[in-house]
Structure 1
């Protein structure tokens, strides 16, 4: 049976709790991804943030004015909008375990942790690639 270790993304792009949403959107755009793992200064996992989280947080009637969107992105920290204590999975768990957890909790990404350290991330896209039997991009 295929394990998470076999399908996870190992080069995880990390945000720190005090990073701005601007930093988050820039990292997402440059890496063409939708989820970022958030850690504390000591490297422990504290949350996860998605492009949807950022979209919801910045959809203010005031943001419609020119420049206001950039102000919001620069002045809101990741810790203010992230999902705290996200569901996680360990690398030795099966792909089936990840699919079951993601369906049950209605989530699209799971940080992969080992000994309390983030070692990867697995997303619904990664799992669909397994189903389609395609290599990662």
Structure 2
């Protein structure tokens, strides 16, 4: 059984709710990633911000990224994640069901990693990867 822990990208750092989008974009560039998890003051996962969110929800609307906080973009919706011990089938189900490209990995209520399509591409048979990409692409976030 392949678990989420075996697939995930380790060393995932949270962006705080009050950090601005300029800082978020800089941290994404430094880490060569397209998304960062956002955590509250309690250290709990509150959401994820993507590079696309910064462009579409801030810059394209004429908002100054230095004036917009991470917490302003994440919304109040449910945050989807998997437990580190979850089987890859659960990971695939969650990503397909919720049409998400990145899935945080939690252990003891703490964020320990994130799984992206690229992480799965390295581990999945081609047919399963194709199904996932197809499911996510119908209306991706």
For Structure 1 versus Structure 2, the TM-score category normalised by the shorter chain is 0.7 to 0.9
Which residue, 92, 97, 111 being the options, matches 1:99? 92
CA RMSD in angstroms, aligned pairs only: 1.7
Alpha-carbon distance between aligned partners in 1 of 2:102 and 2:73, rounded to the nearest angstrom: 16
- The equivalent of 2:106 in structure 1 is 113
1:1-137 paired onto structure 2 within 5 Å: 1-57=1-57, 58-60=59-61, 63=62, 72-84=64-76, 85-131=78-124
Alpha-carbon distance between aligned partners in 2 of 1:127 and 1:99, rounded to the nearest angstrom: 9
Taking structure 2 as the reference length, the TM-score comes to 0.81
Gaps of 5+ in 1: 64-68
- Aligned-partner SS, 1:131: coil
- Aligned-partner SS, 2:10: coil
Larger radius of gyration: 1
How far residue 131 of structure 1 moved from its aligned partner, in angstroms, is: 2.2
How far residue 39 of structure 1 moved from its aligned partner, in angstroms, is: 0.7
Taking structure 1 as the reference length, the TM-score comes to 0.84
Gaps of 5+ in 2: 127-141
